[in-house]
Structure 1
Amino acid sequence: MKDSISETVANFLKDFKPFSFLNFEELKVIAKKIRVIHLNKNESLFKINDSLHDYFYVVNSGVVHLTVISDAEETLLNKCYIGDVFGLRPFFAKNNYQMTAKANEESMLYAVPIDVFKPFVSQNSEVLNFLLQSFAQNSTNPTDKINQELISDSVQFIEFQNDLSFFQTLNYNRKPLIVEHNQTIREVAIAMSDNLLDNAFVKETDTVIGIVTDADFRLKVATGKHAIHSHIDKIMTYPVITVTENISLAEAQLVMLSHKVHHLCVTLDGTAHTEIKGVITQNDLVEAQANSPGVLLKEIKRSGTAQQLKSIRYALADIIQQAVTKNIPLQHIFNVSGEITLSIIRRSIEIAILELGSPPVPFAFFSIGSQGRKEQLLLTDYDNFLVYHDVDIQKNRIVKDYFSQLTKRINEILEKIGYKHCEYNHNAHNLQWCKSLSEWIKQYENWINTPGEYTNEHCSIFFDFEFVYGDQNIESEITEAIFSIKNKTLFFDYLGNDALRKPAPLNFFKKFNEEDNGTFNIKAKAIDQLVDIGRLLAFHHGLKGVNNSFYRYKELAIKDADNAEIYLNAADVFLQVSRLRTLEGLKNDNIGIFIDIENLSKSDKEKLKESLHVLKDLEEIVKDTFQLTQFS
C-alpha cells in the first residue's frame, strides 16, 4: 500500500477506538497491511460456522448486520456503522464463526491482519480492554466456560452476552459476617450457622486478611486437620480478593476467573485496608445474568401480556441507569436499548395479532422519531406508522377495519407497558398513518415535492423510520421511492429553514437562554436542532439505513471531508447533551427536558456552553449548502 493511501487509512482509523489509543506512526504501520473489501447489498462477509479469517474488520462506509440463529430463526444481534469493529472471534477463540456478517447496503470495510495488530494489543491495555468489550458486545454464547488466552498468558476471559454486562451492576450481601482473626473455629462456625451464611471475612485491626467458607470447614476441620478450639486464621483462605462497590457483572466474572476464587470482598475503595461493604459470590453472578440484556430479549419472546412486557421495560430502565451513571459510551447504550425497545414493540404486535387473528394482507410496522433513531432512553411517547400491501377496492374496507383494530390494540398494549400517547397523534391507529404502500409512497412524494402544503411542521420525523415487524421488503420499497425522487430542492429548503428557526441555546451575551423558571430546555434548544440538521444533511448526502444522529454525523465526516471536524464535534456534543437529558430524566423520573443549569458544576456549565457553539457551525453549513438565510 502506498504511503499516501496508508496515511489516508491511518487518518480514518485515528478517530475510532481502539485505533485512537495508538499513535499515528503505529497506525501507518498497520494501515500498510490493511486490505480494502467492498460488499454489495446483502452480500455476506462470513456466515455461521465459516472458518475463522486472519483479519478483523472496520466499517469504512455502509452498514453491516450481525445476525445469529435463535429459536430456529435469524435474529439481528447488532448493526455495525462507520468506525465499528467486528469479526474479533479469531482473537479469542478457535472454533468457527458463531454469527453471520452481511452488508445491509453497499459497504466498504478495512480488513486488519490480526498478526499485525496483536503486538499493539499486548503493549496497550486500553486497546485490550476495548477489544474485550467489543467482542463481548457481539458474543452469542454467555455460558461458554472455555477460558481463552488473549495475547498475554495472564489475560483470560469468558464470552459474555454483550457489552452491557460490562456495566450491569450486581446485587450482593451488603451485611457480610466479619470475625476477628483470634476467634475460635467453633465460635465462627456457630456465627455462620446462626446467620445462615456459608462464608465470613477474617479481620485483623482494620484490615481484611482472609475468608472462611463451608469448604474450609469440610476440608480442614471435619477431616481432623485442625481442632475446633484453634483460631480461625489457621484455616482461612488468603489473601482476599477485594473490589470496589460499583463493580459490574462482567468485571466480577473476570476477577473471579483470573484469581480462581468464588468470593469477592467489596470494600470502600477496593483495597483490603478500608471498610468492608459486602461479599459477592458466584451465586450472585448467576442471579445477575438472569437480568442481563440477552436474557431480557428471551423473556420478551416468552411474554404473553402487557404486564410481563412492562416488567421487562422496568428492568431495561435499571440497566440504562446503571450504564449512564457508569459513564459507558452512550452510543453503546443507544444500540442495545434500541434493540430491546424494538423487541418489546415487536412482541406487542405479536400479542395483538394472536388476539385478533392473522392479518388479511402482508404489512410492515415502523417506529419513528426517537424510537426510530434508537435514541429513546427515557420512557417518552411512542410514534409509529403501518403500511399494508395494496388490495382491490372490494377488499379495502375489510383490510382497513382489521388494521384499525390491530393498531388500536397495539397502542393499548404500549400504553400499558408505560409508553405515552403522542400528543400529535403520530401513531398507526390514526388512519392518516395507516394506509397502503402506494398511498405511503404518494405521501412521501407529496412531502418532498410540495413541502408544507400537505403536511405540518412535524413531518420530518417520518423520515427517521426503523422497521419493526412484518414484510421487510416494504421498507426497501419506501426507501427506494424516497431516494429516487430527483429534485428535492424545495424539500431541503423547507427542512433547512425549519432547522434554522430553532431557538438559540445561547443569547447575545453568551448566556443560556433559560425558561422563566430558570431552567434550560435542552431538547428544544440543543437536541432538536442537532437531530434536524443531522437528518437533513444525511438525506442530502444519500445516507441510507443510518438513522441515529451520532452515527449520521460520523458518516457525514466521511462524506464531507471539508467539514469533518465540525461533524465529529457535533457527534460528541449530541452524546453530551443526550447524556445530560438522560441523567436529568432518571433523577426526576420524567423525560428530562428541563435542565437546572445552577446544579451543574462551573466546569460542566462552561463545557456545555462551549460545546453548543457547534450549532452555529452547523447552521453555517446548512446555509452554504442550500443557499439559505435565517430569514428565507
Structure 2
Amino acid sequence: MKNTIAARIADFLKEFPPFSLLEEKQLLTISKDVKVIYMEKGKPVFRKGENGHEHFYIVNKGAIDLQKINENGEAETIDKCDEGDIFGLRPLFAKENYLINADTDEESILYAIPISIFKPIAENNSRVGNFLIESFASNTRNPYSPEHRGQLVTDNTVDFKTDAMYELQPVPIVKKIVTVPPETTIKTAANLMSNKKVGSILITENEIPIGIVTDMDFRKMVATGRLSIDTSVSEIMTSPVICYSRNITIAQAQLTMMKHNINHICITKDGTPNTRVKGIVSEHDIIVSQANNPSVLMKAIKRARSTKKLKKVRNKITQLLRGYLDHNIPLTHISKIFFELNDATIKRIIDRCIEKMETPPPVNFAWLSLGSQGRKEQLLHTDQDNALVFEDVPEEKLEETKEYFLKLSKKVTKRLSIIGYEFCPAEMMARNPDYCLSLKEWKEQFSDWIVEPGPDQILLCSIFFDYDISYGDVKLSNELADHIYKEIESYKKFLTLLAASALRNPTPLGFFRQFLVEHDGENKDFFDIKKRAITPLTDAGRVLSLLYQVKNISNTAERFEKLAQLEPANKELYLACSYSSKALLKFRTKQGLRHKDSGRFINLQDLSKEDKIKLKRCFKSIKDVQELIKFRFEISSYLP
C-alpha cells in the first residue's frame, strides 16, 4: 500500500534544495523516516552547547529564529528560517555541539530529516554535497540590521549627478549579430554586412570570437587598394577582440573604447574571448541611447509643444527606469530623479493648458500632487491624485474664480490621462469641485476633517497629508500646511483616530505565515502588495511624523529615517521600516514593468521561493511598527 504521508512529505521536499536535486526514489526513501514535529511559539528546537541531534530540520510551516548569544549573555536573532529553509546542519559535518539557538518564532511544523538516512545519499550526489557544504559554511544574515540591507534594494550612499546616473545605465547591446569564419573573403563579408545593414561583422571559430571587421577597416584596407576583395577577411580583422559580459555600463564601454581606440565591444557569456558571443556594443548605439539621459529627457519635456510629444518622452522615461533597475541603481536616487521628471511633466502640461485658456489665471494658485507623487514614490504610471488651491477672493468673485480653475483642471487632468496617468476612480482630482477650493475653503475643509472626523474623513485626510506643490505659489501650500499642524495640535484625539486607521491593514501574513490574497473579484487569489504591504508602512510613517510635527518630508522612507533620528531607542525599527518601504516599492515597480501594469496585484505562483522570503522579511517591519503604534496611541483594536 502506498504511504500517503511519505508521498505528501516528498511532494513538499522536492520543491526545495537540496531535495530538489534528488531522484524521486531517493526522496521517498528519506520521506518514509521523516519525523513530523509540531511546536508552539517560543519553544526551543535546540540550544547553544546542546549535543547535535540525530536529525536536521526543514520548515514546513511557520518560522524559526536562529540566535547567537552576545557578550551580555542575551540572545540576538541573526537569521530567520521560513517555509522550505533547512537548519541544524552541524551534525552532518562535525561531531560538535550546536553553536547557536533555534527557537520557534510562531507555531511551526518541522520535518526532521534523519542524518543516518540522508548522509549516504548526499555523499553519492556531488550537487547535494556542494549545496550542503556552502550552506554550512555561509554566514547567516539579519536583514534588519544596518550592515545587512540590500536584499531587494541597494542603498549605497553615493552622490550621483544626473549625467553620472545616465553613465551607470547598462550599455545598449545588439543581440542580432553577423558572424563569419576567418577564411571568408572580404567581398563575401562586405556583401553580408550590406544585406544585413550592419556596421561590423565578427570573425568566429566554434562560436568563439577571434576578430572583428568594421566599415572603417574596409575603408582603410580595401578602398585604398591595399588588399584585394578576394583576400581572406582574417587579413583585415582586428584581433584580439575586446570582450565584456552583459552587465557593462555605458561609462565602462566609453572608457574602454577610448583606451583601445575602438568603436565596437564584443559581449560574451563570461566577458572573455573564450566563450560564446552574446551580442555587440557600438559607439553609435551609445550615442543614440543618450536620448534616455535624464538631463536630455528634462530638456525634451520643457521643449515639448504637444501632449503627443510628452507621451513619447514618458515612454523613454519608462525605458530609463527599466535600465536603472536592471543595473541595481539605489532606489533613493531613482525616486529623486523620477520625481523631478514627473514634476517637470506636470509643470509643462499646466503651462501649456494656461496658454490655451482665454485669459491668464485671475489669482495665484497652487497645483498639489497627492499620494505617491506627493511622496516622491511614483515610478510607474498609476492613477492621478491632485488638488488645486487658489488665493482667497471676495465672496462675489468666488464662483467665477472657481469656474476658471475647474476648467483649467479639466484640461490638465485630461492631458495627464493621455500620457499615461489614469483618472482617479474616486475622483480625487482638481477637476472635482470638492478638491478645487480657495485657501479659506481648504482651511475650513481640513478643520472639519480634523475636529469632527468620521471614517471617510480620516481616509481623505490621510491622502491629503501627503501632498507636494507641483506648480504655482508655494506660499499658499505653506500657509495651508501651517493651518493643518495647528489644528492637529489643538485636537489630539484626531491623531489617535488616524493611528487607528493606520492599523486597518494588519500584517500581510495569515496562519502559518501564508500570504493573504484577494478572495473574490477579478484579482481573486492575487496578492495586493499596495493594500497589504506598502500602504500600512505609508500610514505608519505618516501618523508618527505628524505626531512629531515633521514638516516638508512626505517620502515614506525619509520619514522613517527622520524618526530614527528623533527616537534613538527605536532607531533599528525605523531604519528597518525605511528599508522595507524602499524594497517593497522596488519589488512592485519590477512587477509592473514585467507585466506592463501598475504592479499592484501579484500572482504568487510567479514568485520564486527567494522572492517570497524577501517579502516576508519586509513584512516583519509592518508587524513591529503597528505594534508600536498600537501601544503608543493606546489603541485596543483595529478599525473595521
When normalised by structure 2's length, the TM-score is: 0.70
1:527 pairs with one of 513, 531, 534: 534
1:138 Cα deviation after fit: 1.8
DSSP 3-state at the match of 2:586 = helix
Match of 2:82 in 1: none
What is the CA deviation profile of residues 375-425 of structure 1, one whole-angstrom value per residue up to 9, with x for unaligned ones?
122221101111111112232232111111111111111122221111221
Is the 2:180–2:204 contact (alpha carbons within 8 Å) kept by the matching residues of 1?
Answer: yes
Task: Name the count of aligned residue pairs.
Answer: 481
Match of 1:515 in 2: 518
Distance in 1 between residues matched to 2:389 and 2:319, nearest whole Å: 34
Q: Which amino acid aligns with 1:380?
A: T
Match of 1:500 in 2: 503
- 1:309 and 2:310 matched: yes
Is the 2:529–2:601 contact (alpha carbons within 8 Å) kept by the matching residues of 1?
Answer: yes
1:556 Cα deviation after fit: 1.4
Distance in 2 between residues matched to 1:417 and 1:308, nearest whole Å: 9
Distance in 1 between residues matched to 2:190 and 2:598, nearest whole Å: 52
What is the CA deviation profile of residues 220-266 of structure 1, one whole-angstrom value per residue up to 9, with x for unaligned ones?
44556555554333332232222334544344334324444211112
Distance in 2 between residues matched to 1:195 and 1:624, nearest whole Å: 69
Identity across matched positions, percent: 37
Compared CA separation, residues 264 and 398, structure 1 to 2 (3 A)? same
Q: Which runs of 5+ in 2 are unaligned?
A: 1-149
Match of 1:547 in 2: 554
1:449 pairs with one of 448, 451, 461: 451
Distance in 2 between residues matched to 1:432 and 1:228, nearest whole Å: 77
1:630 Cα deviation after fit: 2.1
- 1:618 and 2:625 matched: yes
Distance in 2 between residues matched to 1:173 and 1:596, nearest whole Å: 32
Is the 1:310–1:416 contact (alpha carbons within 8 Å) kept by the matching residues of 2?
Answer: yes
Compared CA separation, residues 617 and 258, structure 1 to 2 (3 A)? farther
1:362 Cα deviation after fit: 0.9
Compared CA separation, residues 168 and 199, structure 1 to 2 (3 A)? closer
Distance in 2 between residues matched to 1:603 and 1:346, nearest whole Å: 41
Q: Which amino acid aligns with 1:491?
A: F
Compared CA separation, residues 175 and 352, structure 1 to 2 (3 A)? same
- 1:361 and 2:357 matched: no
DSSP 3-state at the match of 2:459 = coil
Q: Which amino acid aligns with 1:138?
A: K
Distance in 2 between residues matched to 1:400 and 1:440, nearest whole Å: 13
Is the 1:242–1:272 contact (alpha carbons within 8 Å) kept by the matching residues of 2?
Answer: yes
Is the 2:507–2:619 contact (alpha carbons within 8 Å) kept by the matching residues of 1?
Answer: no
1:508 Cα deviation after fit: 3.7
Q: Which amino acid aligns with 2:591?
A: E
Q: Which amino acid aligns with 1:263?
A: H
DSSP 3-state at the match of 1:202 = strand
Match of 2:282 in 1: 281
Compared CA separation, residues 465 and 259, structure 1 to 2 (3 A)? farther
Distance in 1 between residues matched to 2:185 and 2:498, nearest whole Å: 78
Distance in 1 between residues matched to 2:441 and 2:456, nearest whole Å: 13
1:359 Cα deviation after fit: 0.4
Distance in 1 between residues matched to 2:156 and 2:490, nearest whole Å: 47
2:576 pairs with one of 550, 569, 587: 569
DSSP 3-state at the match of 1:411 = helix
Is the 2:527–2:604 contact (alpha carbons within 8 Å) kept by the matching residues of 1?
Answer: yes
1:483 pairs with one of 485, 500, 505: 485
Distance in 2 between residues matched to 1:382 and 1:194, nearest whole Å: 48
Match of 2:29 in 1: none
- 1:629 and 2:630 matched: no
424-433 or 206-215, which moves further after superposition?
206-215
Q: Which amino acid aligns with 1:408?
A: K
Is the 1:375–1:548 contact (alpha carbons within 8 Å) kept by the matching residues of 2?
Answer: yes
Match of 1:62 in 2: none
Compared CA separation, residues 203 and 497, structure 1 to 2 (3 A)? same
DSSP 3-state at the match of 1:236 = coil
217-226 or 193-202, which moves further after superposition?
217-226
Compared CA separation, residues 192 and 429, structure 1 to 2 (3 A)? closer
DSSP 3-state at the match of 1:277 = strand
Q: Which amino acid aligns with 1:308?
A: K
1:489 Cα deviation after fit: 1.5
What is the CA deviation profile of residues 484-522 of structure 1, one whole-angstrom value per residue up to 9, with x for unaligned ones?
443342121011000122243112433222223332222
Distance in 2 between residues matched to 1:598 and 1:565, nearest whole Å: 33
Match of 2:19 in 1: none
Distance in 1 between residues matched to 2:305 and 2:161, nearest whole Å: 28
Distance in 1 between residues matched to 2:222 and 2:637, nearest whole Å: 83
1:132 Cα deviation after fit: 11
Match of 2:415 in 1: 413
Is the 2:155–2:332 contact (alpha carbons within 8 Å) kept by the matching residues of 1?
Answer: no
Is the 1:338–1:371 contact (alpha carbons within 8 Å) kept by the matching residues of 2?
Answer: yes
Match of 1:321 in 2: 322
1:437 Cα deviation after fit: 1.5
Match of 1:386 in 2: 388
What is the CA deviation profile of residues 556-591 of structure 1, one whole-angstrom value per residue up to 9, with x for unaligned ones?
111111111111111121222222322332233322
289-298 or 583-592, which moves further after superposition?
583-592
Match of 1:397 in 2: 399
Distance in 1 between residues matched to 2:211 and 2:455, nearest whole Å: 76
What is the CA deviation profile of residues 101-125 of structure 1, one whole-angstrom value per residue up to 9, with x for unaligned ones?
xxxxxxxxxxxxxxxxxxxxxxxxx
DSSP 3-state at the match of 2:594 = helix
What is the CA deviation profile of residues 281-314 of structure 1, one whole-angstrom value per residue up to 9, with x for unaligned ones?
1111111112322222211112222222222222
Is the 1:264–1:279 contact (alpha carbons within 8 Å) kept by the matching residues of 2?
Answer: yes
Compared CA separation, residues 458 and 281, structure 1 to 2 (3 A)? same
DSSP 3-state at the match of 2:296 = helix
Is the 1:202–1:208 contact (alpha carbons within 8 Å) kept by the matching residues of 2?
Answer: yes
Match of 2:605 in 1: 598
1:542 Cα deviation after fit: 2.5
Equivalent positions of 1:53-452 (< 5 A) are 134=158, 137-139=160-162, 161-167=163-169, 170=172, 172-223=173-224, 226=227, 228-245=229-246, 247-356=248-357, 357-452=359-454
Q: Which runs of 5+ in 1 are unaligned?
A: 1-125, 140-160
Compared CA separation, residues 169 and 550, structure 1 to 2 (3 A)? farther
Compared CA separation, residues 318 and 630, structure 1 to 2 (3 A)? same
Distance in 2 between residues matched to 1:540 and 1:327, nearest whole Å: 34
Runs of 4+ in 1 over 6 A off after TM superposition: 130-133
DSSP 3-state at the match of 2:490 = coil
Distance in 2 between residues matched to 1:563 and 1:591, nearest whole Å: 33
325-334 or 348-357, which moves further after superposition?
325-334
Compared CA separation, residues 488 and 326, structure 1 to 2 (3 A)? farther
1:208 Cα deviation after fit: 1.1
Compared CA separation, residues 173 and 604, structure 1 to 2 (3 A)? closer
DSSP 3-state at the match of 1:208 = strand
Q: Which amino acid aligns with 1:505?
A: P
Distance in 2 between residues matched to 1:223 and 1:462, nearest whole Å: 71
Distance in 2 between residues matched to 1:583 and 1:457, nearest whole Å: 28
Compared CA separation, residues 600 and 363, structure 1 to 2 (3 A)? same
Is the 1:450–1:490 contact (alpha carbons within 8 Å) kept by the matching residues of 2?
Answer: no
Q: Which has the higher contact order (CA 8 A, sep 6+)?
A: 2
Distance in 1 between residues matched to 2:395 and 2:508, nearest whole Å: 51
Q: Which amino acid aligns with 2:213?
A: V
What is the CA deviation profile of residues 145-177 of structure 1, one whole-angstrom value per residue up to 9, with x for unaligned ones?
xxxxxxxxxxxxxxxx2414422552x543333
Is the 2:446–2:461 contact (alpha carbons within 8 Å) kept by the matching residues of 1?
Answer: no
Match of 2:30 in 1: none
Match of 2:20 in 1: none
1:368 Cα deviation after fit: 0.3
Q: Which amino acid aligns with 2:498?
A: L
Q: Which amino acid aligns with 2:542?
A: R
Distance in 2 between residues matched to 1:168 and 1:353, nearest whole Å: 39
Q: Which amino acid aligns with 1:493?
A: T
Compared CA separation, residues 429 and 205, structure 1 to 2 (3 A)? closer
Compared CA separation, residues 243 and 488, structure 1 to 2 (3 A)? farther
Match of 2:588 in 1: 581
When normalised by structure 1's length, the TM-score is: 0.71
Match of 2:117 in 1: none
